[in-house]
Amino acid sequence: MAKKRIFLSLIRRKSNWCMCLLMAILATLIFTGALIWQASSQSIKELEKTYGSSFKLASYADRSNPDLWEYKVFDENYSATIYIGPRVSLEMLERISGEIDGIANYEWENKEDLMNNHILLVQMGFQLVPGFSASTAKIEEENYKQWKKGAISDQDWQTYYERYYKDSKYDIYDTVAYGLNNSQYSTHFRNGTFRLVSGRHISPSDYHVAMVTPTFAKLNGLKIGDTIPLMVSPLNASTSFASGVLGTVDAVIIGMFEPTYEQPVNEYTSERDILNNWILIDLKTCSEMEKISGWSGETSLATIYVDDPSMTGDIMEQVKRLDWLDKHYYGVEKDDSSYHEAAAPIRTLRLAMGAGIAILAASGAALMYLILKHSIGRRERETGILMALGITGKSIKRQLLTENLILGVIAFLFAVGIANAAAPMLGDSLLHTLSPKEEMREYTKEEIDAAIAREDYEAYTKMTSPQTKGIEAPDTLSVHTSPFSILVTGFGMAILICLCVNEAMEKTLRLEPSRILSMIA
């Protein structure tokens, strides 16, 4: 009869279902918050791995030491004082990663962009996604025709047009190659700007390999396994618009990558700023091509990634203590500003969820206790009758506990279902609110012309530069329900129900049934 009493009470007492609904609402809120909290924690860990687990090794450009500087004339148009002191070489990085445990990767990259490790290419005979140079080439071609027709004088042609016409023949082949040691772990793949489409990533042991975009491959009839000649542009050496190819390095295409977003491209976008024109190469080849262009083949800044973010400080100290590393010329600096920048909104979200869960759990527990106490109090008469009939207090307590646990299970299952559906949307929505992303947009010719007209070169640069994702918090939180979180939340709820029922029943069971009956008579 005890089981029947539980069954009858559950199905006949409407107040039970109100209790169940309240439990379901509370459990849904708490569980949703818990899922978002968990996803935030996981996201922070992943961000830490992407951005927070690295430090910089840079060479000092000590201007007070003249031995480190040399005045160099590149051509009749360009000369500069350049740093000739010690730099960070590939051999140095290889030696560091060999001598110190815990180093996952190193790159010649500045986190904000890839400018530290690029080689300018002039890919003669290759098709590129057309941009600014293609538009300019048409203008120069028209000027050439005008000169041939005699509309432009020979003097004017030589003074104002000829050089640009010659340069335009090369400008349309302008693109860049970026050197990466381990492309899979480089910033732009880890932050989601690029993704691997086919083939494989560049690895540290590779030499003379390249990755291209499917767009570039299609334009030039290339596929994985083909050899592509990488033509070093003299623009690496100077800022003048010299023409020609300084040297060529053949690389085998091992993989294809693509940007994960649709880059707005207009006629002011330089070909080398169009992501689909980029070529990724291994670091050794990058160093080799740097030497071809007249530079040292080394870098002034390298980023070293570690396996375990918590070990970053320790590993940095080990690098500093290397006796072969001259502290006068090299500096080691933690590089976690980008991590903090990217993680900030997620940390805020996690903190908010944590606080929310704590408040909800505490107030929910209090509310549930009060309602359970009230509900059980309303059943004092029933309790008194049952006790008077000979049913023990223990049995009655067990009945109420079982009833409320069953209601709790139903409520919890409901909560798990709703939370699973709501948490991803809510989490992403909150994340977007906390870290609003600047929309990538395509600027019109009129807008760009207007910026040029008012000499707003900052705006012009922004409008015509590639809008890479850079350092950003992730777009989504990847909310997953783990069996552990279900277990913890469910168990917590069960404990809470048991405590509440126990506490609420205590007073009633201490009373003699006749007292209870007389109270409600």
Partner 1 sequence: MIQTENLTFYYNESRKILEDVNITFEKGNLYAILGASGCGKSTMLSLLGGLLLPKSGKILYEGENISEYGLDRHRQDHVAFIFQGYNLIEYMTVEENVELTAKQPPQTALQKVGLEKELWKQNVLKLSGGQQQRVAIARALASDKPVLLADEPTGNLDEDSAQAILDILRKSAHEEGRCVIMVTHSLALAAGADEICRYADAKFQHGDYGLSLFTKPENPWETISVIQEEKAGEINA
Kindly report the number of other CB atoms within 10 A of residue 298's CB atom: 19
Cα dihedral: 220, 124, 118, 75 (round 10): -170
Residues 356-385 that bind partner 1 (CB under 8 A): 381-382, 384-385
Name the strand (E) or helix (H) holding 387. helix 380-388
- Smaller CB distance to partner 1: residue 392 or 482? 392
Task: Tell which residue, 375, 490, 354, 369, has the closest CA to residue 27.
Answer: 490
- Smallest gap from Cβ 400 to partner 1, in A, equals 14
Residue with smaller CB distance to partner 1, 174 or 382: 382
Q: In angstroms, what is the minimal distance from the CB of 17 to partner 1?
A: 13
Using CB under 8 A, which residues numbered 8 to 47 contact partner 1? 8-9, 12-13
Site string for partner 1, 456-495 (x = CB under 8 A): ----------------------------------------
Judged by beta carbon, residue 300 or residue 404, the one nearer partner 1 is: 404
Q: What character string, x for contact with partner 1 (CB under 8 A) and - otherwise, covers 323-362? A: ----------------------------------------
Integer Cα distance of 89 and 92 in angstroms: 5
Kindly report the backbone phi and psi dihedral angles of residue 194, in degrees, each rounded to the nearest multiple of 5, phi listed first: -115, 160
Q: Stretches 53-61, 300-308, 329-337, 509-517: which one binds partner 1 (CB under 8 A)? A: 509-517
Supply the minimum distance, in Å, between the C-beta of residue 502 and partner 1. Answer: 18
What number of other Cβ atoms are within 10 A of residue 373's Cβ?
18
Q: Which stretch binds partner 1 (CB under 8 A): 103-111, 157-165, 361-369, 507-515?
A: 507-515
- Looking at the Cβ atoms of 13 and 347, the one nearer to partner 1 is 13
* Per-residue buried b or exposed e for 182-198, using 16+ beta carbons within 10 Å of the residue's own CB: bbebbbbbbbebbeeee
Q: Which of residues 155-174 bind partner 1 (CB under 8 A)?
A: none
Rounded least distance, CB 391 to partner 1, Å: 7
**Of 385-404, which residues contact partner 1 (CB under 8 A)?**
385-393
CB-CB contact of 343 with 52 (8 Å): yes
Query: Which of 1, 453 has the CB closer to partner 1?
Result: 1
Name which of 14 and 149 has its Cβ closer to partner 1. 14
Using CB under 8 A, which of 70, 91, 314, 512 touches partner 1? Answer: 512
Question: Within a 13 Å sphere around the CA of 402, how many CA atoms are in the beta-carbon half?
Answer: 15
DSSP structure string for 45-113: HHHIIIIISEEEEEE---TT-GGGEEEEEEETTEEEEEE-S--B-HHHHHHHHHHSTTEEEEES-BTTB
Nearest approach, Cβ of residue 1 and partner 1 (Å): 6
CB of 382 to partner 1, least distance (A): 6
Amino acid at 382: E
Comparing CB distances to partner 1, the nearer of 4 and 149 is 4
Q: Which of 477, 505, 483, 420 is nearest to 27 (CA)?
A: 420
When computed from its CA atoms, the radius of gyration of the chain, rounded to whole angstroms, is 34
Choosing from 153, 198, 478, 514, the residue that interacts with partner 1 (CB under 8 A) is 514
Closest residue by Cα to residue 413 from 29, 24, 38, 32: 24
The Cβ-side half-sphere exposure at 156, using a 13 Å CA radius, reads: 9
To the nearest whole angstrom, how small is the minimum distance from the Cβ of residue 389 to partner 1?
5
Q: Which stretch binds partner 1 (CB under 8 A): 1-9, 166-174, 182-190, 229-237?
A: 1-9
Provide, rounded to whole angstroms, the least separation between the CB of residue 406 and partner 1: 16
Q: Which C-beta is closer to partner 1: that of 211 or that of 387?
A: 387
The candidate with the shortest Cα–Cα distance to 273, out of 176, 196, 186, is 176
Helix (H) or strand (E) holding 508: helix 483-510
**Least Å from the CB of residue 399 to partner 1:** 12
**Smallest distance from partner 1 to CB 12, Å:** 4
Q: Which is nearer to partner 1, 140 or 382 (CB)?
A: 382
* CB atoms inside a 10 Å sphere around CB 467: 18
Residue 344 tokens read as 């900030």
Would you count residue 509 as binding partner 1 (CB under 8 A)? no
Q: Which of 353, 234, 386 is nearest to 295 (CA)?
A: 234
> Which range binds partner 1 by CB under 8 A, 195-203, 241-249, 310-318, 506-514?
506-514
Choose between 5 and 190: whose C-beta lies nearer to partner 1: 5
Q: Residue 92: CB partners within 8 Å, gap ≥ 6? A: 57, 325
Q: How many residues bind partner 1 (CB under 8 A)?
A: 24
Q: Residue with structure tokens 């109090």? A: 377
> Please, which residue, 149 or 510, has the CB nearer to partner 1?
510
- Least separation in angstroms between residue 21's CB and partner 1 is 19
Cβ within 8 Å of residue 190, ≥6 positions away: 49, 50, 51
Residues 291-310 within binding reach of partner 1 (CB under 8 A)? none
Window 174 to 233, contacts with partner 1 (CB under 8 A): none
Q: Which is nearer to partner 1, 169 or 398 (CB)?
A: 398
CA 240, distance to chain mean position in Å, is 37
Strand intervals (E) in 239-387: 247-259, 279-282, 301-306, 330-334
Which lies closer to partner 1 via its Cβ, residue 153 or residue 514? Answer: 514
Residues that bind partner 1 (CB under 8 A): 1, 4-5, 8-9, 12-13, 381-382, 384-393, 512-514, 517, 521
